[in-house]
Each structure stands twice: as structure tokens, then as C-alpha cells.
Chains A and B, each alone.
Chain A
Amino acid sequence: MHIKIKIKAALSIVLVTLILSSCTHDRKKPGMQYMDDMVTPIAYEDYSPNPVFANGQTEQTPVAGTIARGKMPYPYARTAEGQKLAGEQLQNPYTPTKEVLERGKAKFDIYCMICHGSTGRGNGTLFESGKFTAPPTDLLGDRVQNLPDGEIFHVITKGSIAGLMGAHGSQIKPDDRWKIVTFIKNGCSVKVK
């Protein structure tokens, strides 16, 4: 009889400790996992830390002097001369057709609208709310509209010389950058002139 009670008591203690250790949901912890053989990857994931490389990251920048497939090096610097050179040497491969303009507008709405506004007048939400203190350029003004396409492409890729607009080359593909340029040159409108 006594042994039975002891077993029961021992069992209940084990159960209580089990409950204490589980069943609690904490927002900071992902929760428990079972049979995680095929859940956690063996290979290093894009964003996982990596002991193989010196900087501890899995994603590495291309080795110096190499060019990735399908990528073109961009030789123009973020200076007044570089911008002028880009304007003289780069050619916009697109003409304003409906498809090009619509793609340009879609990308404009994602990357440009916050500062330059939906109409391109430089009155985006970020500036109007007073958070971004420097007034964004009026894209429909004479200064931008008279720039060569290559210079606008350069400003999107490398940022403005003034340093107030950042480089968007890492976010937008060159193809889409040209379509944005075409859209801006079309007066920020999708109507084919």
C-alpha cells in the first residue's frame, strides 16, 4: 500500500514539473519543436551566421574584380562629373509605351512616391508630415524635365550629389530604373503622349 502511494506521489511530482516547463506561451520564444531533423536546415541559409567566412555572414559581396552573371558594372561616381558623364553616355532603352509606363508607375509608387508625391511635385507624405525636413525635388519642374535620361538614372542608382536622396541601386533593378525614368519624363503620367 505504502509503495503504491509513493509511486503515485512521485508520478504527480514528475507531472507537475512537466507542466511547469511547458504550456507557457512566451512571445519572445518561438515555441517547442519535435522531430526537427528536417525542420532546421543543414545548409547555411541566406541570413544565417556562418563560421566559414571571416565576417561571419553567409551572404558575401562579389570577389573584387569579378562580375556576376547578368549584371553590368556601374562605373559612374556620385559626383557632379560622374552624373554628367552618365547623362552623356547612358541611353534609355525604352520609349514611353503603355506597358513601360505602367510598370514605371508601379515602381515609382513603391520607391519614389513617399518623398516626391504621387504627382511628382515633391509633396510626398514623408515631407508633408514634417519628418523629412529637406524639400524633395519637383520632378515636373524644368530642372528635372530638361535633364538627360541618363542623369536621372544616375541619381536613382547612386543618389543625388547633394546627399539628400539616397542610392536606390540596391533596391531597384536597372530595367525598372529606366522604366521609372521614362515615367518621370512622361510627366509622371501613364498617358502615352
Chain B
Amino acid sequence: MQTKLAYAQKINRLLALFLLLFIYNISSVAQKSPEENFKTCSACHTIGKGRLVGPDLKGITEKFEEEWLIKFIQSSQTMVKNGDERAVKIFEEYKIPMPDNNLSEDEVRALLEYIKNYDPNAVAQTKPAVKANPNFLENNFSYLPKNTKGIFYISIVLLLLSIFDLAVTKFLKKAVAIHIMIIGSTVFLISMVVYQEAVNLGRYQGYEPDQPIAFSHKVHAGENKIDCQYCHSGAMESKRSGIPSANVCLNCHTVIKSGTNTGTKEIAKIYKAIDEGKAIEWVKVHNLPDHVYFSHAQHVNAGKMDCTECHGDVANMGRIQQVNDLSMGWCLDCHRKKQVDFDNKYYSNQFKKYHEEIANGHRKGVTVAEIGGQDCAKCHY
């Protein structure tokens, strides 16, 4: 009997424990954790890291009594309106109304407890760690033309030796065929190199200058997934896509004061430029000659081209590099292949022949070249 009773008691205790756990679970689902709630506060407040928009919250539980704090956190503006002296004083000092928080008294108590026991070092560790990348500025590939110096040197030396032997030493007197072979092949190689170098003159393919700030597109466009047009916002509006002025950097860098890879060193250059009122002198990479007209707006809006089609995989580039040679042949290649949006309103009254041919089924589409994209005066005027 006794053992049975003890058994029943044990079961009862277990049941009670389960019930308690169950209730605890329900209540923890209904209430947000103080960490979650503090995220809202942290937009304007710090704990022990100084004044932001609102006051530093360190030691706030000792300065004010709990009842007052609960009321203030729930609706500060009601207290200001009702003429609470301390609330009015805070509002006049900071001048920005603290928005009302839809929190229960228990939630605010938990929040205050959280603020009281807050250890800045412990929290810093729980933040998702952003890994530094030592190669943030380097590129995995270079589009520089191949270095043909070696072939050129060897060819020149062989050619000179051969001519010298033919004219002066006459060492291979009986095998003139070898001389002819050497001279022929070296002259061919030399002219090939000279031709290629001449073609590359005035083209900046692979140009990758050092910039005044160690800015990495790999970090900004790749890791952070910032849209190209966030900074180059002129791409849809004007001829130039635009180099962002320092105030655009500040949109994020007022908060992000220390970079993952460079610390505060590089970001401080932005603040310096703003303080001194001087522009950051970025080095322009993509240069077209003055005798050609190019408009970004036309290519992005009407042409619906993606930035990468001309600028390459910028999201995986550290320093910006010119991927294409931007030669006239390269432009025309695309103009001959790319089909225009022929349903466009603009074309409906023009190019009747093309419309007829499309209607007949003789033509699938119209390329840029076929509507005048190959005429000299389209780009050179």
C-alpha cells in the first residue's frame, strides 16, 4: 500500500512539473524576449556606449524608479503632455519624441532587467561574425593583354644573329636554308607582336588603377548585395552613370564606422573629405575617346542592358578593372547582334518595311544595326 501511495505522489509531482513547464512555454511564446524587444530601442539608444539619438541607458534603473520608467517607455509623449517634470526635461534636452511602445508591464520589467544586467562584451560575441577577407582588393583574373616581350626579345636576337652570320661570320655558309627559315619565322613573329601592340594602343583593357580609398566592389556589390544603381544612380537618367559623392557613402557609413577588412583607416577618409569639403579623387577607369558619344540612359532604359554586359562581373572584382577593350569593333559586334524591342511605341510609325516583313514571317527581329545603329553619325558627331 505504502509503495503504491508513494508512486501516485510521484506521478502527481511529475504531472505538476509538466503543467508548470507547459504554462511557462505558453507565456514565453506570448511574450517577446527582452533581447528581441531591445532591438527596437537600439535604433536610438546604447547601453554604456554613449549618447546616440536618445540618452545612454546605462544605470537608468538606478536614476529612475521602475513605475515611472514603465510609464515612460510605454508612452513618453503622454507623460510630456500631462506635464511630468522629468519627462518634459528629457524631451527638451533631446528634442526628438520617443515613439510609443506596445509592451506589457511585465515585458518592460524584463527589458529593464535586461538593461541592468547588460554586459557589452558578452553581447558583442553573440553577433553574427563577419569574416574578414584578406584578398578583398585583389582580382582573380586580369584582362591585361598577354605580355609578348619574351617572344619579341628572342626573335630579335635570333634575327640579328642570323643576319650577322650571313653577312660577316659566314659560319653556316652551306646551309642558307636555315638562315632563311630563321629570318622568315622571326620576322613573322616580330610583325605579329608589333601588330598586336599597335591594335592595343589607345585601348585600356585590363586597366586597374589604385584608387584613393581601398574600396572593394567585391565587398559592396558582392557580399552586401547593394544594387549598382544605389551608388551609380545616374545610369537610368543621364549620359553618365556617375561616381557617387561622399554623402552617398555616408548613407551607410554613418553607422558602419569600421570596415571588416580595413578597420577605421579607409572609412575615415570619407569623413575627412566631408569635413574638408573636398571631393574624393577617384581615378576614372572606363574612358571613351572624346570623338565618340555614349549614353548610359539609352543603353539601360531602351536597350535594357545589364551592367555586367559591358563592365563584367563587378560583384567579384576587388579593384575595378576594365574588362572589355571598348573598341569600335566591340561596340559594333553587339549592335549587329542585339535585337531591339520592336513593339515599342516609338517604332510603330516607322520602318514600315520591317513591320511588313515581320508580319509576313520573313523576319524574326530587327537588330540595332538595322535601324541605324551602324551609321557613323549615330555615335560620331
Contacts and interface: CB of A to CB of B under 8 A. Distances in A.
B66 interface: no
Nearest to B243: A47
Per DSSP, chain A at the interface is loop
B224 to A, nearest CB: 6
A27 B229 contact: no
A140 to B, nearest CB: 15
Interface residues of B, number: 72
Interface string A146-176: 0000000000000101111111101111000
Interface residues of A, number: 61
A135 to B, nearest CB: 5
B97 interface: yes
B179 interface: no
B290 interface: yes
Given A19-B153, A39-B290, A27 B130 contact: no
Contacts, number: 154
B150 to A, nearest CB: 10
A49 B254 CA distance: 28
Contact of A23 (B127, B149, B260, B291): B149
A34 B254 CA distance: 45
B100 to A, nearest CB: 9
Contact of B40 (A12, A135, A171): A135
A33 interface: yes
A55 B281 CA distance: 13
B202 A22 contact: no
Interface of B: 39-40, 42-44, 52-53, 95-97, 99, 127-130, 142, 144-145, 147-149, 152-153, 156, 160, 163-164, 167-168, 193, 197, 200-204, 206-210, 223-227, 229-230, 233, 237, 240, 243, 245, 247-248, 250-252, 254-256, 260, 277-279, 281, 284, 287, 289-291, 321
The 6 closest A-B pairs by CB, nearest first: A166-B251, A130-B128, A41-B290, A27-B208, A39-B289, A38-B291
Interface of A: 4-5, 8, 12, 15-16, 19, 22-25, 27-34, 36, 38-42, 46-47, 49, 55, 57, 79-80, 109-111, 113-114, 125-126, 129-135, 137, 143, 159, 161-168, 170-173
